[in-house]
Amino acid sequence: MRNRKSLVEWCLTKAEEYLGSAGDNLKNDRLYPAAEEIFRAVETTLEALLYLSGVNKIEYRHHGKEFVGRLALQYLIRNTLLKQERISKQEHDFYLTLATELHQAGYSYGTTFHKRRLEEYIEFAEKLFYKVKALAAE
């Protein structure tokens, strides 16, 4: 349990750093880096929530295959957090939308993000962060 608590604390510290960096990038109109940092904040916050929910390691086994890394994280978020109703469908959809937008932007030269949309994303990311931080404090 102590190790899991340390992982939660580490994740929340990193998520807070990502949010700060995203805010700085947004203020300075560095929109692509801001989008990346917002996504990292969301992903790391959800990772903290997974640890709070009893997950010991970010890995996922299904039909004899073992997944690790980001793909395992996506499966765990869906199959643990969403199914246990630790996050709402809206929060899960937000995570997937942001992941998809970043993934597609990586393949499209000259893709830009709209500042107004990123402001909505960072607000949502901050709400999620404070929700998980409050759960960790219980």
CA neighbor of 51 nearest in space, from 83, 109, 119, 3? 3
Task: Provide the 8-state DSSP code for 108.
Answer: S
Q: What is the pLDDT of residues 39-50, one digit of tens each?
A: 999 999 999 999
pLDDT at 70: 86
Number of H helices, E strands in the chain: 5, 2
pLDDT at 105: 76
Please check the confidence at residue 133 and state whether its pLDDT lies above 90: yes
Q: Model-level pTM?
A: 0.91
The CATH number that domain 2-137 falls under is 1.20.120.330
Q: What is the pLDDT of residues 55-113, one digit of tens each?
A: 988 988 888 888 888 889 999 999 999 999 999 999 999 999 988 888 787 667 767 78
110 against 25, higher pLDDT? 25
24 against 104, higher pLDDT? 24
Band (pLDDT 50/70/90 cuts) for residue 53 is: very high
Please say whether the beta carbons of 32 and 40 come within 8 A. no
Domain boundaries, the chain: 2-137
Neighbours of 37 (CB within 10 A): 24
pLDDT at 43: 95
